[in-house]
Amino acid sequence: MILGNVAFSVFALFLAISIDHTSSQCVKQSSCTCVFPNGEGYNISSLSTDTLKSIPVSNYTFAFQPCRNIVMNIVSTNSECNKSPGVSLCAYSKIQNQTYNFGTVEETTFEEVQGIETYTALVLKHESNITYIRLICCETCENPRLVMNHDPKFGQKNHLTLMSVHTCKIKMVSTGLSTGSFLVILLFIFSGIYLIGGALTMKFLRGATGLEMLPNYAFWSDFPSLVRDGIAFTFSGCKADSYDRI
């Protein structure tokens, strides 16, 4: 019975953590759109006709098309970005006269990046290269701007910034249930089954009345003190009190 109580508590805790995580995620609807559970989101499909090029930093330039893969004929040689069906993000080296594939739309996700501040970014993961393109709302920008934060680092994390009037968070209509909503429904369903089913079982099989009809009443009544003891145990360095130390 105690194992059942612990399992239910762990399940409820897992759902709560999952709900908190998914509630802050912008769920990808297409290569150019994503929607938060509150109905807000991003729609950068207006950038689907442009190939955005960053201002060169030393030797390198980035070329980016966020909504679709395109063949980028930046150089005449048969380099990675020239090959069909194309790429979404390409790095060009002026010295080497070579291009490098940094990701396709299939390798792109919308993510909430945690740091000094939380921001939404397009994240492209191609082989060992991971590129974060931060979306910044710029209502005064007549044309979209792609800014390199540093030279490309192969096999490491790269950071760029995309500024445009089309990268502002807007109100959108989400289609269907989000993951967070689905998990909330599951939590209520299982909690209802647990409480109602347990109460009926306690009443008809054991003749319980009042609060005693609550399933595992002794466990739940002690639950606050168990949480308190667990917190105290954690902050004590996971060392229990003993008569030897006294």
Q: What is the pLDDT of residues 46-76, one digit of tens each?
A: 999 888 888 777 788 899 999 999 998 887 6
Tell me whether the omega of the peptide bond preceding residue 37 falls within 30 degrees of 0, making it cis: no
Whether 152 and 97 map to the same domain: the answer is yes
Q: Domain ends where: 143, 171, 199?
A: 171
Whether 132 and 90 map to the same domain: the answer is yes
Q: Is residue 241 part of a domain?
A: no
Least confident interval from 32-36, 76-80, 100-104, 195-199: 76-80
pLDDT digits (tens, 9 = 90+) for 72-94: 888 767 778 888 889 999 998 88
Whether 201 and 89 map to the same domain: the answer is no
The pLDDT value given to residue 18: 43
- Dmax over CA atoms of the chain, in Å, equals 85
Whichever domain contains 41, its CATH number is 2.70.130.10
Q: Write the DSSP assignment of 5-29 as a string of letters.
A: HHHHHHHHHHHHHHHHHHTT--EEE
* Residue 132 in this model has a pLDDT that exceeds 70: yes
| pLDDT band with cut points at 50, 70 and 90 for residue 178 | low
Q: Checking DSSP bridges between strand 89-93 and strand 108-113, what pairing results, if any? A: unpaired
Q: Is residue 103 part of a domain?
A: yes
Whether 37 and 141 map to the same domain: the answer is yes
- Domain ranges, residue 211: 2-20+178-235
Whether 182 and 101 map to the same domain: the answer is no
Query: Domains in the chain: how many in total?
Result: 2
Q: Domain ends where: 137, 171, 205?
A: 171
Whether 105 and 150 map to the same domain: the answer is yes
pTM of the model: 0.61
Beta bridge partners of 90: 63, 101
The pLDDT value given to residue 41: 93
Q: Domain ends where: 153, 171, 189?
A: 171
| pLDDT band with cut points at 50, 70 and 90 for residue 7 | very low
CA distance 33 to 110: 9
